[in-house]
Amino acid sequence: MTGEPKSYPPGEAPEAEAKAEAALERALRAEAGPLDIALDEPPVEPSNLARGAEAIREFWRHAPLGPGVYRMIGAEGEVLYVGKARSIKKRIVAYTTPERQSIRIARMVAQTRSMVFVTTDTEAEALLLEANLIKQLKPRYNVVLRDDKSFPYILIARGSDAARLVKHRGARSVPGDYYGPFASAGAVFRTMNALQRAFLLRTCSDSYYENRTRPCLLYQIKRCSGPCTGEIPLDDYAGLVKEAKDFLSGRSRSIRHRLADEMSAASDALEFERAARLRDRISALSAIQGEQSVNPRSIPEADVFAVAEEAGQWCVEVFFFRTYQNWGNRAYFPRADRAFGPEEVLDGFLGQFYVERPAPRLVLLSHPVATAATLCEVLSARAGHRIAIGVPRRGEKRDLVDAAMRNAREALARRLAEAASQAKLLAALAQAFGIEKPLRRVEIYDNSHIMGTHAIGAMVVAGPEGFVKNAYRAYNIRNADLTPGDDYAMMREVLTRRFARLMRDGETAGADAFPDAPDLVIIDGGRGQFEAARDVMTTLGVEGVALASIAKGPDRNAGRETFFVEGREPFRLSPRDPALFFVQRLRDEAHRFAIGTHRARRKKDFVKSPLDEIPGIGPARKRALLHAFGSAKDVARAGLADLEKTPGLNAATAKLVYDFFHEGQGG
């Protein structure tokens, strides 16, 4: 193992992160947009190389000797590279002789015109600052972590007298015990479902729990013990909560043995119904452990990283092990120059991965990284206990790394195969619609509403790598004068808002990044929708964007759709044409997204209470009013004197509630 970190006393607040955040604010004065790497760049011109080396030499003369972070800036002010160093002056002197460096370094030096330095007190602070800057600026020559979504956890919240089992993502602001991370929300839901069966913990919200008068359906189907209505004493429920915590902390074997003994005792006492319930709980515990494909025997907790490369693409596979169980894995595809080695890619990846995430006591790697010791120091300071990082050579730890490496190679092969297939489908789509240039971004639009209510416009986006879900957009229809159910007017509003903003802001992505502007727009609708979209494009002066619409076939049969494209008569595609299947997939995804967004908005409005609109009425006062009167309708009917008697409300708040419901009724 490499990187022996020193131990930190629990509860000691590390100063490195706070100082790094302050340095980040100073460093972000010179912002730059993301820029991707072109794999077919021409060779470096000697004159440009000499000019870049001379620019670096000028900045080197006044560079600080201590630790910190440096940025290399291009001619247009774009950030080319962010690096850290124990001594900035000693580090950047290597860039003044780029002929001794790799091709990647030579290209970077040739494009450099200025540099920015930020000093820190320690190398650990420089590591944190570097990771933050890379995430913010996405420099061209750094390894950039593109998928930065947070991981879900299981939370046993302590918000009331009966603890609640819930999925949690984001900041740990809710008091309770957190268990994770899990690789996906699906893994969390599967585990939570089994935990409900095994420990009968409630999952309902606190307000729902506090207002129950009889057990809900979950109690009837044996997924909850019913603490809300006293079906189980709170002391016994606390025992179930403790068992769940013990199980999630790795003490599952003792729990299963105890439940087995209780089941045998209940069977001997002829309490067959209780024995059956205990049997179901044991079965649920077995189901959780049975879903784990790889369970380590000697490693209580670890994160395992393996990196693989093929055809200039990189994949980092991460496995999460907690409480001797495999809690899932996730594949990342960072953006990195093909000139990088696996050690460099993994090194750049780790700093960004852990900049806002807690680390386990053990981090296993497929390749050694240069910053292992510094990263150990940072993560140990944050966690308050020792954390080890290294490359195992043999035994079970090596087996886990090998398993992660196999998954990394397989995930990368699947991604490359999917990208090749997607490229063929985009080419077939362009040919079918008579588009000569390659399609890099396709946008599909659909509307969803019920008789004009809760109207939603949806845009989904597809590109060479499939659906680009972080580019999806939903538009709430705002036009109050719009006739309910007027799909043409809805589409006009959505397209006007989308393309007016695009025309105003212009293209903000780099030359090789995923574009902001579409090459093709597909409308889910017939000729009327097509004409409405064309009018918007013409009015706004949008150029270079092909437009098409897809009308459902007779009896809404898939395979008999009619297409409308500018300059052509309406036409159909062959029922076996791959382009037709591809368009159907795009349309179905737009329909799914529009329907889902519409339902979410409708559900939100359905459960919305008039009390939510009263200024100064928060959850506690809302709960008090509902306890006192039973419903928002009864609160609205209540007199001022009755409102003033409500526990938790003073006279001024009672008058506020009364005036809200009786405004304009003449006192």
Asked if the model's pLDDT at residue 279 lies above 60, the reply is yes
Residue length, the chain? 667
Question: Residue 30: which of 136, 129, 107 has the closest Cα?
Answer: 136
Residue indicated by tokens 């395979």: 559
Instruction: Name the pLDDT band for 30 (thresholds 50, 70, 90).
Output: very low
Residue 331, beta-bridge partner list: 317
Residue 321, beta-bridge partner list: 302, 326
pLDDT value, residue 6: 40
Q: Please work out, in degrees rounded to the nearest 5, the angle formed at the alpha carbon of residue 263 by the alpha carbons of 261 and 268.
A: 95
- CA distances from residue 636 to 73, 370, 408, 653, 661 in whole angstroms, order as listed: 63, 67, 60, 14, 6
How many Cα atoms within 13 Å fall on the side-chain side of residue 43? Answer: 4
Asked if the model's pLDDT at residue 515 lies above 70, the reply is yes
Domains 302-413 and 442-605 belong to one CATH topology: yes
Helix (H, G, I), strand (E, B) or coil at 572: coil
Residue indicated by tokens 């949008």: 542
Q: Check: CB of residue 27 under 8 Å from CB of residue 70.
A: no
Omega before residue 619 within 30° of 0, cis: no
pLDDT value, residue 9: 38
Asked if the model's pLDDT at residue 283 lies above 80, the reply is no
Indicate if the alpha-carbon torsion angle 281, 284, 286, 288 is positive or negative: negative
- Residues 457-489 have pLDDT tens digits of 899 999 888 888 888 999 988 776 777 778 888
pLDDT value, residue 391: 93
Mean of the pLDDT values across residues 70-99? 87
- Residues 396-433 have pLDDT tens digits of 899 899 989 998 998 888 888 777 888 888 999 998 89
Q: What does the DSSP assignment read for 16-52? A: HHHHHHHHHHHHTTS-----PPPTTPPPPPHHHHHHH
Residue type, 183: A
Residue 147 CB neighbours (<10 A): 10
Does CATH place domain 442-605 in 3.40.50.150?
A: no
Q: Please work out, in degrees rounded to the nearest 5, the angle formed at the alpha carbon of residue 322 by the alpha carbons of 317 and 326.
A: 55
Asked if the model's pLDDT at residue 639 lies above 60, the reply is yes
pLDDT value, residue 20: 52
Instruction: Name the pLDDT band for 236 (thresholds 50, 70, 90).
Output: confident
Residue type, 497: R
Mean of the pLDDT values across residues 502-524? 78
The torsion region of residue 116 among left (phi > 0), alpha (psi -120 to 50) and beta comes to beta
Instruction: Name the pLDDT band for 256 (thresholds 50, 70, 90).
Output: low
Q: How far apart are CA 53 and CA 55, in angstroms?
A: 5
Residue 19 CB neighbours (<10 A): 17
pLDDT value, residue 512: 56
- CATH number for the region 610-662 comes to 1.10.150.20
Structure tokens at 77: 């002010």
Mean of the pLDDT values across residues 175-182? 82
Does CATH place domain 16-137 in 3.30.70.260?
A: no
Mean of the pLDDT values across residues 510-530? 83
Highest mean pLDDT among 103-107, 203-207, 538-542: 538-542
How large a percentage of the chain has pLDDT more than 70?
84
Q: How far apart are CA 311 and CA 416, in angstroms?
A: 8
Question: Residue 391: which of 16, 107, 2, 101 has the closest Cα?
Answer: 2
Q: How far apart are CA 360 and CA 379, in angstroms?
A: 9
pTM of the model: 0.61
Domain boundaries, the chain: 16-137, 152-249+251-290, 302-413, 442-605, 610-662
Whole-number mean pLDDT of the chain?
80
Q: How far apart are CA 129 and CA 97, in angstroms?
A: 27
Radius of gyration of the chain (CA): 30
Asked if the model's pLDDT at residue 365 lies above 90, the reply is yes
Q: How far apart are CA 538 and CA 535, in angstroms?
A: 5
- CATH number for the region 302-413 comes to 3.30.420.340
